A and B are shown apart, each in its own frame.
Chain A
Amino acid sequence: MSGDIRSEGNSNYELQQSVSTWTAFCATLKRDLLIAFKRRNDLLNPVMFFLIVVSLFPLGVSPDPMELTRISAGVVWVSALLASMLSLDNLYRADYEDGSLEQLLLSPQPLYFLVLAKNIAHWLISGLPVVILSPLLAYMLYLPAEAYTTMVLTLLIGTPVLSLFGSIGVALTVGLGSRGLILAVIVLPLTTPVLIIGAKAVTDVMFGVPLASHFALLGAILALALVMSPLASAAALRISVN
């Protein structure tokens, strides 16, 4: 069903050459979002996964409100991390299999911006719904009211980093047969700083610790990831597709 969108984009090489980088960026973003919205299940899966993982913790740890309050920040953050991991595979695989990834690599526009567009689309599809859903889950885990804003804000800054870092891992493994576990092994260690800072900010706000440094560090990591990680993803894609 998405075939006509793809062929439209690649129909004419001369036409592509006259396309500005900005137009190509918007077109890639729009295309990825459109494909995602046509596959509703893929859209729902990360959110459902997030919901299920979070609800496993009270079952596994304890339904005691005190206990849950203590671990709530970490649980929400770890679950968001895992949900982002789960949805990563969609980022380049379908494009790799039907060949449109090769067209992307051949396009005259800088690959950096096209990869960035795909990463932003991935975040809008998988990261943003998790961020929006997080207050509900935080409520179920008895997170104190004063920590809600911090949790949503840290997730808002942190989840794009997860998409950006994850993209490197997917790009490296896109051509492989069995990539599910290897992707997690490669990507998860890279995401630890975001997890540490994000979860700690939410815990610290409960104790009244000032949060400026947490947000500064998270913002710095996001800035670094925005600049560097699409470059690494682009290089990795060129290697994998060859």
Chain B
Amino acid sequence: MWLWFSKLGSPRWFYELSSKWLPWLYALMFVMLGVGLVWALLFVPADYQQGQTIRIMYVHVPVASISLACFPLMAIAGTITLVWKMKLADMVAKSVAPIGAWFTGLALASGAIWGDQIWGTWWAWDARLTSLLIQFFLFVGVIALRSAIESPDAAAKACAVLAIVGAINVPIIKYSVEWWNTLHQPASSISFDAVAPNPPEIWVPLVIMILAVYVFFAISLILRTRNEILQRERRAQWVMDLVARDQQK
């Protein structure tokens, strides 16, 4: 178990293993995205209330669900960095921050487009929107801190601390924002919790889309992490060999 754990921390091991994973992940993503998108955009019946705009859900919900998962992931990677000083964990933490910010921004943008159609406004100070916006600011803070500190080692630890503090704060922010708005104007928004009782022809493509976007997220995280590995290990022999082999081709 511990051998496996310390092996996982080796950037080279991860690089070589992920080279084998990537083609399979690509294939999985393209199949699922193709099936999910065609199904969602062409074959799902229009909603009796929302009409064709219900199709925005098939992009918005997967993106939003990932944006919520990114901060805990970054905090876990940060904890591993602080406790076990695992190099790979910090590379993942560094890679996940911009991806998380992008997904949060995409969730806000797709939500705004949907909101314009359904609520008649691009933006409302709804609890979900507001807490997502604050989460976006938290990501921006982590990225800004990372770029401000020159020493990579200090940046890794500082960002890990900030990620953990932020992750403890995310639920507090979420609940305080919900408490703030729901007390003020109850049930002003459309809840997505109503997805479950819907017929399978609506939620099965949604599940496919969520999985597809998760695979997409995994691929982009792996690619970014690989980039980071090459950059930080550029003096290592195995990276130089890799580059030499690449140039020979």
Total residues of chain A contacting the partner, CB 8 A: 29
Tell me if B144 and A240 are in contact (CB < 8 A): no
Tell me if B137 and A189 are in contact (CB < 8 A): yes
Chain A residues within 8 Å of B165, by CB:
168, 190, 229, 232
Given known A-B contacts A186-B144, A189-B141, A193-B173, A228 and B158 have beta carbons under 8 A apart: no
Residue interface mask B126-168, A partner, CB < 8 A = 1: 0000000010011011001100110000100110011011101
Tell me if B145 and A182 are in contact (CB < 8 A): yes
Tell me if B140 and A185 are in contact (CB < 8 A): yes
Tell me if B149 and A176 are in contact (CB < 8 A): yes
**Contact among B137, B145, B161, B176 with A217 in the assembled complex (CB-CB below 8 Å):** B176
Is A236's beta carbon under 8 Å from chain B?
yes
Give the complex CA separation of A185 and B166 in angstroms.
Answer: 12
Tell me if B177 and A185 are in contact (CB < 8 A): no
Tell me if A182 and B157 are in contact (CB < 8 A): no
Is A200's beta carbon under 8 Å from chain B?
yes
Give the complex CA separation of A27 and B166 in angstroms.
Answer: 32
Total residues of chain B contacting the partner, CB 8 A: 27
Tell me if A186 and B154 are in contact (CB < 8 A): no
CB distance from B135 to the nearest CB of A (A): 8
Given known A-B contacts A190-B166, A242-B154, A172 and B145 have beta carbons under 8 A apart: yes
Q: Is the interface of B mostly helix, strand, loop or mixed?
A: helix
Chain A residues within 8 Å of B179, by CB:
196-197, 217
**Contact among B137, B148, B154, B183 with A182 in the assembled complex (CB-CB below 8 Å):** B148
Closest chain B residue to A184, Cβ basis? B141
Closest chain A residue to B82, Cβ basis? A235
Given known A-B contacts A189-B141, A190-B169, A172 and B180 have beta carbons under 8 A apart: no
Chain B residues within 8 Å of A48, by CB:
none
Closest 5 CB pairs of A and B: A193-B176, A189-B137, A186-B141, A239-B157, A196-B180
Q: Which residues of A contact B (CB under 8 A)?
A: 168, 172-173, 175-176, 178-179, 182, 185-186, 188-190, 192-193, 196-197, 200, 217, 221, 224, 228-229, 232, 235-236, 239-240, 242
Q: Which residues of B contact A (CB under 8 A)?
A: 82, 134, 137-138, 140-141, 144-145, 148-149, 154, 157-158, 161-162, 164-166, 168-169, 172-173, 176-177, 179-180, 183
User: What are 24 inter-chain pairs, A to B, with CB distance below 8 A?
Assistant: A168-B161, A168-B162, A172-B161, A172-B162, A173-B145, A175-B154, A176-B148, A182-B145, A182-B148, A192-B176, A193-B173, A196-B176, A196-B179, A196-B180, A197-B179, A217-B179, A229-B165, A232-B165, A235-B82, A236-B158, A236-B161, A239-B161, A240-B154, A240-B158
